[in-house]
Structures are given as C-alpha cells and as structure tokens.
Amino acid sequence: MAEYTIKVRRFQPESGEGPYWEEFNVDLEPSLAVLDGLLQAKDNEDGSLAVRCSCRAAICGSCGMKINGQSGLGCKTQIGEAQELANKKASVAGEQVENAPIVIEPMGNMPVIKDLITDMESTHWTKIRRVTPWLLPHGEPPEREYVVEPESMIDITQSMACIQCGACVSSCLSMEADPEFIGPAALAKAYRFVGDPRDAETTERLHDLADDPHGIYDCTHCFSCIDACPKGVAPMDQIMRLRRKAGEEGIEDPNAGHAHEVAFVKIIEKKGTLDEAMLVQESYAPGIKGKLKPSKRGIRETIKSLPTILRPLRKRKVKLRQAIPGTHHKLPGNAMDEVKAIYAHAEEHKEELNLYIRGEEGDDAQPDGTAAEEVPNG
Ligand code: SF4
Ligand code: SF4
Ligand code: FES
C-alpha cells in the first residue's frame, strides 16, 4: 500500500459558489486505478464527491476525466503511474518531486454538472447524432441478415471499438477554438458508416461532412485525440480516412480544405519543406504563378481570406519576406532527392496503416509476424 494525495477540482452547483480545489489522502496499491482513489475518498471523507462510473473495467465509457491534465479513463489509469507523471510535472515546474498531488479535473470542452460529472449530452451526444450514426442501406432489406465479406469490414473495425467515453472530445484542441467542430468521436463514428459496404449514402455523407465549415477539414492534426483514446480508435486517423475518401470522390468543399491538402502535398514534393506563402496561394488560387490564370473561385476565396492571411503579418509571426511566394529557401545537398524518393515509394506502395493492417498492400502479416485475423461482423 502507498499513500497518495489526489487534488480534485470540485464544483457543487447547489452551494452557489464557483469551482474550487480540494485534496484527499488515499491508501492504495499502485496498480489500482485513480477511480479507486476517488471512490475511497468518497467513502471515507466526503460522500458528496461526484464521479460517474459503472464497469470499472474500461468498457462502459462512464469515467472520463482529466488526470494530470491528460484526458482518459479514471478506471484505466493506474494511480502509481499517475503519481509518477505528477512528480515529473512538478519537477519540470521546479517544485517538490516526491508525492506531488495527482491533479484530477472534469473533462474539457463540456459543461460541468457537478465535480467530475460533465454534461455529455450538450456536446458529445448531440454531435454523435449530427453524423446520422446508423446504417442507411437502399433497396429491400434481405430476408435474414446482410452478409458481407469479413475483409470489407476490416477498415472500420478500429472505429467500431469506440466506447463513447468522450476523452478525445475533452482533449481536442480544435474544439476548444471552435466549439461547433463536429469533433473526433463523432467523426470516427461517421467513418464507421462511410466505410461500411452496406451503407448506400456514402457520397451524401462525405458531402455533408466536407461542406460543413466545422466538419472534416476543421481538424488540425494535433494528435491529442489519439493520445487520449483508451481504446485505440485513433479518431484523427478516421478523420484522415474521411478526407481521403472525400478527395477520391472529387468533392471540392467550400472551405478549400481539400485544395489546402493538395497544395500541401504539392509544395513539399516540389520544395522539400513547407513554403507557407505558396500554401496560401496554392490553396485558394492555384495557377497564379505558373499560368497567371487563377479560377474565379480561387480569386473569390483569396479575397475572402485576406484577413486570415494578413493576421500573422500584423502580429509579426511571419516576416514580410516569408510571405512573398517563391522566396522560400532550398534544401541543402541532395536532400531533395530523398524527398522525391519518399513520394515515389508512397505512390508505388499506397501505404495503409490501422489497428489491424500494418505494412503495405498484399502483406498479410501482423507486426508480430502472425497472420491477419478475421474480423467479426458488426
Ligand atoms: S487531431 Fe483533430 S480531432 Fe483530434 S484532437 Fe486534434 S484537432 Fe481534434
Ligand atoms: S474515440 Fe476513443 S476517446 Fe473518443 S469517445 Fe471513442 S473510445 Fe472515447
Ligand atoms: S467505469 Fe466504465 S469505463 Fe471506467
């Protein structure tokens, strides 16, 4: 047994007071969970401490919370590991490094109802419903169940592992900046149906998610949701799959999200590193430099985006020289050849990564050398 101090951010709406911090001392085996510490504090010290939980086995998705600033499940985070992280953070901050308090807060990006209980309805569930989270097949349903090849379900198995805990939503930086962003959990759910061979409204779904200014192109690839997810769903990867499918369908979204991606790939291929000035131009008005023939939409979007383009200049985040297209530095030596080789390799092999497939097309082996498993219907 070891003694731990947990520092909980509390909010008791009935008191009429604002949020406050309270510390509790608990005795636990280091292998037990942070949730066990909270339940011990509730049993022994203050029965009004509110925390949501049910299975205590990382299955029900009820106990999402922030532990030492990281979103996750209280029942899946060992208190000994949480202590190590708290000590590490304290040491970085130049504070006491032995038995630093383990800081526990309610999930972010959601209103707090009481203590560690957040309102999942107003953000998480509303957004899940936003993506029509059920199958939309056409035609007469079969007499018995739909039969699909197991291989055709592999691509969506990862998104099917979601337990709707909201940890990814809590950690999403884009949602912090834009609360209307559909968000990682709902977009992972959207891919579950976009990738399902039984669904007949893939194109409509992709148009809907690409055209929405708070949709698939609102994600900034920050990886936070991948780090937070306790079930390996990797929501950001599902969003990238949605984008790729939207691109394959030729969907040109009004936010120039797809054009931005294409521009990014094109510039790196040409220059090896990102020429930010070219990125703006190529995203909104491709062709200005080479052909002096931007599209009408390109001109319209560039004018509309001028405030965004000028903001970093005004704030001196970008120097005027860096904002002039074509003045970007070149890579030294033969580094450009290596960049070209990466592009050639990716083009030739069409690499794909997910929970069940690692490697290249035609390679059935798993990372540990075993054969790929059959995927259950679902
Ligand atoms: S990768 Fe995208 S969806 Fe995931 S947390 Fe970052 S901004 Fe949000
Ligand atoms: S994607 Fe992961 S973190 Fe997000 S709700 Fe589902 S299980 Fe939780
Ligand atoms: S209590 Fe069910 S996931 Fe933690």
Index of the ligand 3 atom closest to the CA of residue 230: 3
Q: Give distance in angstroms: CA of 140 to centre of ligand 2.
A: 33
Pocket perturbation via mutation, ligand 3, pick of 38, 60, 65 by most ligand atoms within 8 A of CB: 60
pLDDT at residue 129, as a whole number: 97
Cα gap 364→125, rounded to integer Å:
37
Q: Give distance in angstroms: CA of 173 to centre of ligand 1.
A: 6
Q: Give distance in angstroms: CA of 202 to centre of ligand 2.
A: 22
Q: What is the DSSP pairing of strand 102-105 with strand 2-10? A: parallel
Ligand whose nearest atom lies closest to the CA of 34? 3
| Residue having the nearest C-alpha atom to atom 6 of ligand 1 | 222
Cα gap 55→224, rounded to integer Å:
25
Quick check: 226 and 277 in contact, CB under 8 A? no
User: Could you read off the pLDDT of 210-254 as tens digits, one per residue?
Assistant: 999 999 999 999 999 999 999 999 999 999 999 999 999 999 888
Quick check: 59 and 39 in contact, CB under 8 A? no
pLDDT at residue 288, as a whole number: 54
Index of the ligand 2 atom closest to the CA of residue 161: 7
Index of the ligand 2 atom closest to the CA of residue 235: 1
* 219 touches ligand 1 (CB under 6 Å): yes
State the CB neighbour count (10 A cutoff) for residue 55.
13
* 183 touches ligand 2 (CB under 6 Å): no
Quick check: 107 and 90 in contact, CB under 8 A? no
Ligand whose nearest atom lies closest to the CA of 161? 2
pLDDT at residue 267, as a whole number: 86
Per-residue pLDDT in tens (0 to 9) along the chain, 378 residues: 899 999 999 999 999 999 999 999 999 999 999 999 999 999 999 999 999 999 999 999 999 999 999 999 999 999 999 999 999 999 998 876 788 999 999 999 999 999 999 999 999 999 999 999 999 999 998 999 888 898 888 889 999 999 999 999 999 999 999 999 999 999 999 999 999 999 999 999 999 999 999 999 999 999 999 999 999 999 999 999 999 999 999 998 887 888 888 888 888 888 888 887 777 777 776 665 544 455 666 677 667 777 777 787 788 777 777 767 667 778 888 999 999 998 888 888 765 443 333 344 444 444 444 444 433 333
* 63 touches ligand 3 (CB under 6 Å): yes
pLDDT at residue 327, as a whole number: 75
The structure tokens listed for 161 are: 């592992």
pLDDT at residue 294, as a whole number: 59
Quick check: 117 and 23 in contact, CB under 8 A? no
| CA distance to 11, 15, 123, 277, per residue, from 114 (Å) | 5, 11, 16, 47
The structure tokens listed for 125 are: 């569930």
Mean pLDDT for the chain overall: 86
Pocket perturbation via mutation, ligand 3, pick of 38, 39, 51, 54 by most ligand atoms within 8 A of CB: 54
Cα gap 130→98, rounded to integer Å:
46
State the CB neighbour count (10 A cutoff) for residue 328.
18
* 278 touches ligand 2 (CB under 6 Å): no
Strand partners for 72: 65
Index of the ligand 2 atom closest to the CA of residue 188: 1
* 53 touches ligand 3 (CB under 6 Å): yes
Index of the ligand 3 atom closest to the CA of residue 75: 4
| Residue having the nearest C-alpha atom to atom 8 of ligand 1 | 172
Query: Residue-wise over 169-199: b if at least 16 C-beta within 10 A, else e?
Result: bbbbbbbeeeeebbbbbbbbbbbbbbbbeeb
